Amino acid sequence: MSEQISKPVRVLSIAGSDSGGGAGIQADIKAITALGGYATTAITALTAQNTVGVQAIYPVLASFLSQQIRSVLSDLGTDAFKTGMLGGNAEIDVIADEISEYRLTNPNTVFVLDPVMVAKGGAALMQEDVIQSIQKKLFPLATVLTPNLPEAERLTGLSLASVADMKAAARMLHAQSGNAILLKGGHLSGDTLVDVLLTQDGFTEFSDTRLDTCHTHGTGCTLASALATFLAQKKTLIDAVALARTYVRQAILEAPHFGKGDGPLWHAH
Ligand code: PLP
């Protein structure tokens, strides 16, 4: 086997730490590793968190976030970026600058942007002005955005109650950003769960039967990390989405039933 083929892809996760190990950086490292990738990290904030909720948030200084990203990129490099829970405007500037600079010499580096805004338990993880800053500075750099239904509603101002509504929101987000959009429909009611992918070539729908589970904490992080890993492994976007969805479904099915609340998933290896 050539050195090129045997080397794992590198995925840099820029996200918040979840002390409960269910979401955020911890979910990202587990998913990337389980899929054969090499995970590096730049932590935007520490959370004191478990399956029941977020008890406290301790943000990281923008200058230290920048140092973490530089330490990784200047030595190890990366094949993909994945962003999750981000800090404030100064941190968004740092992330946009670092990704743009790295892309000058590595133009094909994938960027999966998961616009994390609220924790599943309802805790706000992002302020309004920060959302605008992400739209302006990070959206244009992303390969694909992975909003869930409430995030897409907040980004578009639309109220989303059907797959047709989701397609309208995806079109709006695609027009805003020029990116591919994977709009996740798990928050819609019904026995079938539909995600909608919009690329320059049009829509692809992915559907599955809904799992009766409370283990959904960390599914967004896991899906985005799996997607970044598969894209770095040179899968097409449609194949990468299908594989990432299958991975998340399996991780839900194998959930270990820890804690009194929501999640965590199980990342088999
Ligand atoms: N990142 C962090 C640090 C979080 O605490 C959370 C949710 O609590 C998320 C991301 C989003 O998690 P999910 O994958 O469940 O959407």
Structural domain includes residue 88: yes
Residue 32 lies in a domain: yes
CATH number at residue 42: 3.40.1190.20
266 belongs to a structural domain: no
What is the number of domains present in the chain? Answer: 1
237 domain-assigned: yes
Q: Residue 23: CB within 6 Å of ligand 1?
A: yes
- Is residue 265 assigned to a domain? no
Active site residue 184: yes
Q: Which of 219, 222, 229, 263 is catalytic?
A: 219
In a domain, 267, yes or no: no
Task: State if residue 185 touches ligand 1 by the CB under 6 angstroms criterion.
Answer: no
- Look at residue 96 in the predicted model and tell me its pLDDT: 98
Q: For ligand 1, atom 7, which residue shows the shortest CA distance? A: 119
| Long-range contacts at 251-256 (CB < 8 A, ≥ 24 apart) | 251/31, 251/219, 251/222, 252/211, 252/213, 252/215, 252/216, 252/219, 253/211, 255/213, 255/215
Residue 214 catalytic?
no
Q: Of the listed 184, 199, 222, 229, which one is catalytic? A: 184
**Is ipTM beyond 0.85?**
yes
Q: What is the pLDDT along the chain (269 residues), one digit of tens a residue?
A: 444 557 999 999 999 999 999 999 999 999 999 999 999 999 999 999 999 999 999 999 999 999 999 999 999 999 999 999 998 999 999 999 999 999 999 999 999 999 998 766 666 767 788 889 999 999 999 999 999 999 999 999 999 999 999 999 999 999 988 999 999 999 998 889 999 999 999 999 999 999 988 888 999 999 999 999 999 999 999 999 999 999 999 999 999 989 999 889 999 87
Pick from 44, 125, 219, 267 the residue to mutate for probing ligand 1's pocket: most ligand atoms within 8 Å of its CB. Answer: 125
pLDDT of residue 78: 98
- Closest C-alpha to ligand 1, atom 8: 119
Q: Measure 97 CA to ligand 1 centroid, in angstroms.
A: 24
> What is the pLDDT at residue 5?
56
In angstroms, what is the span from residue 209 Cα to ligand 1's centroid?
Answer: 23
Residue 223, Cβ density class (10 Å: 0-12 exposed, 13-18 middle, ≥19 buried): buried
pLDDT, position 123: 66
Model pTM score? 0.95
Token pair recorded at residue 244: 């990432």
Q: Is 204 part of the annotated catalytic residue set?
A: no
Residue 261 lies inside a defined structural domain of this protein: no
Indicate if 40 belongs to the active site: no
Which ligand 1 atom is nearest residue 221's CA? Answer: 14
Distance 254 CA to ligand 1 centre (A): 19
Query: Is 22 inside a domain boundary?
Result: yes
* Per annotation, catalytic residue among 143, 218, 222, 229: 218
Give the domain range for residue 132: 8-253
Alpha-carbon distance of 184 to 113, in angstroms, equals: 13
